[in-house]
Structure 1
Amino acid sequence: MVSTDPLDLLRAAVVGQNDPALSTSNDAKDTVTDIAKAKFAIFRTATGPVSVPLDAATRFRASGQAANLRSIIFAWQRKDDAVQAYITEAQKLNDALAAPGNAGGSVQNLVFAERQDLQQWLQALQTESEYIVPPTGDAEADSSILMPSASGLAPGRMDERLQAIYAGERTMLDHDTMLHGSKAQDWSWVLDIADQYYGRSKAKPSEPAPSAGLNPSGPNAKKPARAMQPIILISPSATSLVRMTNAKLFLENGQFVPPNSAAAGSSAGASILHTQRLMPSFDAHRPLRFILVESIEHFKPDYWQRVVAVFTTGQTWQFKPYKWTTPQDLFAHVLGVYVGWAGEPPQAEVRSWGHSVKVVSVDKWSPTQGTASRWRDREVVEQIWTAIEESMKRKGWTKDGPGTV
């Protein structure tokens, strides 16, 4: 018998290049192309069509919650979208689903890492996923999944012998697939080392070979310059919505949690954090690595040219130990970022600083809902990163550092 698990059915369809049909009923005659109108996905299998409600929960856990089949199919359909485009299309679909005459319900917004992992798994490029819960061996198939049988439409169950075969199945992978991960990594430091040990040993034709009396590795030898990592200063104010405890989660995953909550405790006590962001303006292939710090106690004078953004609450005492002690001087050199609650206007001081401070707002935190409905956070983070990238371009940044254009 064919597995009736929604994820297994979709994976088989993707691998076989036989996408499921979308339908307004469990009958293939009522197929539609608009996922906002569809209520069922119909998979073509060797034993006949299998109809699955699009609102059926799957084993894929997005932000800790089971994503429905509609969210999974939508994420696969938009697999080539950039982060911002995917978020925009997800919001459009949710608006369309809520319109009269459409299917209703909603799609869950998968973060970038979840989408990448899902795509790898659906294409059988990996056998396991940290976001997918293993199926229970003897669990009955979901009663909402309809399969043709001798007695009509009834819940299906996987044959135990076939299940044992699947349990021992191993997907054949080549060398490149085994080494390919789902998250972008910054390997620029490896290139620096390779250039130091191999690139310099290959003298250019126009350059004379070093004479025996000269030591190329001596004290006067020029060392290869390393890329200067941009710095983002986090506000030390206790009233700031973005602190060291939640800054990395917010900027890297687009997920806001209160800085004093248990969910933000992984970075508690850290004095320095790192995050990375792909900025096509500087390097379309390797992400830039950013340093997040709250205190400037160990700052060297040349570090200030690397500061690209300062998170602020509007309290000017924050700037007293800085190189530029007034808001006017500071934000003439560095982008300011103010994060407030949605529906609450920023302080008058922040408004008086004008366009030199990027003002954004996040939805108020609900302890009962948690992160389940916080799809807007990713959009806010994209606005912040876009402002930082534009500011860096105006300041003459390149992938190697500031003012090197």
Structure 2
Amino acid sequence: MSKSALFTLRDHLKNGDKFTLLDENNTTTEDISTADKVLLGSDAENNKATLSLNDETEFLIEKNPVILKVILHCWMHKDSSAADYLADCQKLHLTNISFLQRNDLMNWLTGQSETSQYISTSKDQDTKPSDEKNNAISSVAAINNTTTSTSANTTTQTTTSADQKSGLSELEIIQNEDPVLFKTLEHERVLMDHNSSLRGSKPIDFSYLIKDVELKLVQSLKGSSSSKSGKSKGHVSKSNGPSKSVLRKDPIILIPSATSSILTLANIKEFLEHSKYVNPRDITITSDNDLITVEKKFTKISRPIRFLIVNNTRMFTKPEYWDRVVAVFTTGHAWQFANYQWNTPQNLFQHCNGYYFHFNGDEVPQHVQQWNVQKIGLDKHQRFKDVEVVRFFWSNLEKSLVERGYH
């Protein structure tokens, strides 16, 4: 039976064969995102093979097979850090293989391991017999040997026991002939790996925790590596936490520029400084300034903090401006982040506090409920409740400022 594309790829990679990426016109390319096929081996080799990168493989992520392109892309990053690999996956819009699965796959592709727990056994049974089948054969042989050696003691006992054992199970036979072995087998436990060791009354899938760790831990590592490279090149780093020089500068709050937003540059100062909400349609705009300052004294920070509030990023001429962004107000539309350094909600709200202000009674969109943002409701008519809303916002932001190093 012919081998699958995944096992064919493994045979070549394990042998150190070269490979060439080809696009749909069979033209050599260096970009795997545009590649359609892979040519394994060179002209000097006799075992050349051409595989389609869009074929599904036996390697499973959350029980779903991944295509060969994802496997080869992971191999091309075998010497890269987890942060660099994740960043390239996001750039090329390719499926990201988690850290544990990636290590398991690399060991299997290089030949260090002959099996992988993430590869479906239904498609590779023809390549190698399963360990369970081998163990079962060995167990049956051992039991047969035990039974044979025991029954061979006397001719009379062999004849009698054969008639009695014909209707007994293997465990019952062992119990009758070797009580010590039977007692040992009663306390036997099946060995489990780290994935199956978390047991309970119901099967629980903990795979979502891997993605959470990647978003929080790997992004932090990515920020650290960016910080080191930034210092070596002599420019401001894009680390996860602001530097001391940035902390001394005024933090920035980004708000929407859409006129449909309930908080705009027209009413934000009155709202945050005086805890009073005024409908922006009731305010006559006398200036087209894109920046407003708001000052706030916190209980856990020794000095008053002056915030710069802007509704666009046109003035962000240096990378350090993004390190100073501490909060982002959103209307729930993803296009708001198109010109941001982190232009997806998933990345943006891992770096900055997100806030979704809305009127009580209005339905919060389903996609906003999945974002990592604080949803804050305003009363449409009772303005005395604005004080509690603003107090909650400042208290929430203060915790973030202390974590960032403001004191």
Higher RCO (Cα < 8 Å, 6 or more apart): 1
Shared fold, TM over 0.5: no
Q: Given the two structures, how large is their TM-score scaled by the length of structure 1?
A: 0.38
Q: Given the two structures, how large is their TM-score scaled by the length of structure 2?
A: 0.38
Query: Which of structures 1 and 2 has the bigger CA Rg?
Result: 2
Larger proportion of helix:
2
